[in-house]
Amino acid sequence: MIDKTTTPLVLLRKVRDVMRTAEKPQTRLNKLTKVIARGFDSQVCSIYFARAGDILELYATQGLRQDAVHKTQLRFGEGLVGEIAVLQAPLNLPEAVQHPKFAYRAETGEDDFHSLCGVPILYNHRVIGVLVVQSIDAKIYSEDQIEILQTVAMVLAELAIASHVVEMKDITGEADNITNSHYYSGLKLAPGLAKATVVLHRPKIDIVKLVSDDPVFEEERLHKAVAELQESVEALIRNAALSKGDSKLEILEAYRMFTYDKGWLERIVEAIHSGLTADAAVKKVQEQMYARMSRMGSAYIRERIQDLDDLSTRLLYHLAGISPTSAQSQLPDAYILVAKSIGPAELLEYSNKGLKGVMLEEGSSTSHVAIIARMMDIPMISRIPDVIHQVRKGDLAIIDGDNGEAYIRPPEDVVQAIDEHIALRRLRDAEYESKRDLPAVSLDEQTVSLNLNIGLYLDAAQLSRPDVDGIGLYRTELPYLASSDIPDVDEQKKMYGEIFRHAKGKRVIFRSFDIGGDKQVPYVQIGNEENPAMGWRATRIGLDRPVILRRQFRALIRAAGGNVLHIMFPFIADVSEFDETKTILDRELERAKVEGLKLPSAVKVGSMIEIPSLLFQLPTLLKKVDFVSVGSNDLLQFLYACDRGSERLSGRYDPLSPVVMGIVRQMVQQCAEAKVDLGFCGAMASKPLEAMALMGCGVRNISVPPAAIGPVKAMVRALNVGELERKMTKWIKLPEHSLRNLLEDFAKANNVPL
């Protein structure tokens, strides 16, 4: 039990008072260990702080040998202290020596101690240390004691940094370097190129008062701030004036749900009643939930961390009486936003205010904020370590979302090169726009059907382009990713209906949902898989959980309303899987007929070709389908057993190899013989050189992102397809690693723009 004379509030006050004295840092830490040990009725209290290189060093102790201070060190993951740092979670052990991670350090003299309870010291989502108490008795510390120890660790973290007991540069090993140029290679989240001055997103709020003896007052402050937070999010949704079916609205609705999450608010209230101010309580819960959610196996849950982290920060602003948008009141005409992380609602608040690009320390390509960035056509990259500590407001920055590269304070030659590149891109885009009325017809009068790959409601506006024939791939999984439950039939029907309305008779191919792999959802417990890209995903989930497929097919049938309905099944490995999925669709069509609903004027069913096993079954498949579409992203990674996300394997295997080109040529020939339409919707088709190679293999129907229509069409109109086909017939027989150089030479000799 905690010393009965020392309540949690009294303990927090003592911690605060010790840390605020003018004594030397070591003296303060020594006194602090005595206060904590006494408060927990324990013989030992030790404080470890992180050092550069993921080392934990014993900074102070009560109960262990004093000559071990600044001598005993453990790596992250080494010993129990290192394990706490890696897990970012408490350990509570009655017999510490029996734990497999126990690492004996003779110099500490801890032989006589049995029980151990330790918690991470967290600051700005980083483990900066570990706080440990130990006892001679073999006992389990109570849940209340662990919670109080975590509260003490939170207060210790804030005070240790604020009073310079430890310095972040000593923990990270990086000196304060805000004058040199920095180049970064990060993760591509949204394409595009931008150059502008830096704006730091929402500067950190320093919590001045951590401990309070009036929990009623603090709880009132919290509830007032929460109400303001909820209203600000409601206002954001109202002001955005988004219609039902708009993907932005669905994302914001999911975001709004977090503001009413009872579990989140209850944890903050509990922290207030332990003796913290409302501000400190929000900070404590923010750090703990971030650490806990980061450890979860579900990619969906990990990605939702950004939303919850964003809301916590916004709540801190309301508690401080500062408008979360006040930092945006004086923005430059053009700027690049730099942040540790950012939520989707926050990003929307910057829209139409000169935002040219975003650099993040954290973020993934399937996160809500990445989806919003792609909607807004704003380049974004993430996984840029410690960037918020390397920039100052007003620094010049460059972001290349196409290649995942960025510069802070770039050298003059880089600035000049980027300026030239941006100017050329603007001229090129203007030229593409001036020729949007021209058809995609080659020099030798071969017509190429250009279609869109989209998954966002706003992209559907691109269908009005005269050079766009339709949608070759509509990704239906976005509402599944943005929802906490399976979207109902009416929700899906409205969204699909809007797409039909925008299409105005142009063909739209709806790909049935492709969740799983790197697109996790909370209501389908996929679990951890060694190879998620090759695991339980897409149609495999649909066949095992047919209710999801049935709802989607039902919505598509109702949304078609007399239009031709094209449905394509993804991730088919065996023809029997196509048959089973088609049977589910047929049952829903029969159901709609019985219910007297208006049926589609026709239903065309196709399959994605993205698993190599289907290549060997193609003759059988072609007897059953109306069309097929090649998904090169998965097909190539499975063909070469090469994870497309692997940096080490990046570039090792070229899609423009004779092997791949030969496979494409065979598919084209087999589909022509069976009189089945073949389309190509993989990433290859969106690059002019790769699209040109596909033309040379006989492909005449490609589907690309909206931004690729202009450059791909310019290539087609300058190409003699027949001449390239004759060349390709010879080239695919060559024992070469790649045909890229030959194709580039052909383009150059024939003035084909790439």
> pLDDT (tens digit, 9 = 90+) per residue, 475-510?
887 656 555 556 788 888 888 888 898 888 899 999
**Is 50 exceeded by the pLDDT of residue 235?**
yes
Range of 34-43, 250-259, 405-414, 418-427 with top mean pLDDT? 34-43
- Of 409, 399, 336, 394, whose CA–CA distance to 179 is shortest? 409
Q: What percent of the chain has pLDDT over 70?
A: 85
Task: Decide if 95 contacts 114 (C-beta within 8 A).
Answer: yes
**C-beta separation of 638 from 573 below 8 A:** no
**Which residues, 6 or more positions from 323, have their beta carbon under 8 angstroms from its beta carbon?**
317
pLDDT band at 550 (very low <50, low <70, confident <90, very high): very high
Q: Which residue has the higher pLDDT, 698 or 430?
A: 698
Lowest-pLDDT choice from 120-129, 260-269, 694-703: 260-269
pLDDT attached to residue 342: 81
- Residue 114 exposed, middle or buried by CB count within 10 Å (0-12, 13-18, 19+): middle
111-162 pLDDT, tens digit each: 889 999 999 999 877 899 999 999 999 999 988 888 889 888 988 888 888 8
Helix extents (H) in 260-383? 262-273, 278-294, 299-319, 344-349, 368-376
* Mean pLDDT score, 463-473: 89
Separation of alpha carbons 497 and 486, rounded Å:
18
Tell me the residue type at 183. Answer: Y
pLDDT for 1: 45
What is the structure's pLDDT at 454? 80
What are the backbone dihedrals phi and psi of residue 724, each rounded to the nearest 5 degrees, phi first? -65, -40
CA distance 58 to 50: 9
pTM over 0.85: no
pLDDT for the residue 77: 92
Using one digit for the tens of pLDDT, what is the confidence trace for 572-609? 999 999 999 999 999 999 999 999 999 999 999 999 99
Between 525 and 14, the more confident residue is 14
3-class SS at 159? Answer: helix
Superfamily of domain 476-624: Phosphoenolpyruvate-binding domains (3.20.20.60)
Does the pLDDT at position 567 exceed 80? yes
Q: What is the mean pLDDT of the chain?
A: 84
Contacts of 83 (CB under 8 A, 6+ apart): 77, 91, 101
Instruction: Give pLDDT, residue 168.
Output: 73
The segment(s) of the chain belonging to CATH 3.20.20.60 are 440-447+632-680+682-754, 476-624
40 residue type, one letter? F
Q: Where in the chain is the domain with CATH 3.50.30.10?
A: 182-411
pLDDT for res 367: 65
| Burial grade of 255 (CB within 10 A; 0-12, 13-18, 19 or more) | buried
Question: Mind spelling out the 3-state secondary structure of 218-262?
Answer: HHHHHHHHHHHHHHHHHHHHHHHCCCCCCHHHHHHHHHHHHHCCH
Fold that domain 440-447+632-680+682-754 belongs to in CATH: TIM Barrel (3.20.20)
Q: What's the rounded Cα separation, in Å, for the pair 694 and 680?
A: 9
pLDDT of 242 reads 52
Class of domain 8-172: alpha beta
Quick check: 720 and 662 in contact, CB under 8 A? no
Give Dmax (Cα) for the chain: 93
Neighbours of 90 (CB within 10 A): 19
Tell me: the pLDDT tens digits for 402-453?
888 888 888 888 888 888 888 887 888 888 888 888 999 999 999 999 999 8
Give residue 176's pLDDT band: very low, low, confident or very high (50, 70, 90).
very low
Classify residue 651 by its DSSP letter.
Answer: T
Query: 79 with 68: CB under 8 angstroms?
Result: no
Fold for the domain defined by 182-411: Glucose Oxidase; domain 1 (3.50.30)
Which of 58-62, 195-199, 280-284, 335-339 is modeled with the greatest confidence? 58-62
User: Is-contact 526 536, C-beta < 8 A?
Assistant: yes
pLDDT single digits (tens) 13-25: 888 888 778 788 8
CA triple 38-41-43, angle to 5 deg: 80
pLDDT score of 690: 95
Four-CA torsion 681, 701, 602, 674, nearest 10 degrees: -100
- For residues 89-104, average pLDDT: 92
Q: What is the pLDDT of residue 570?
A: 92
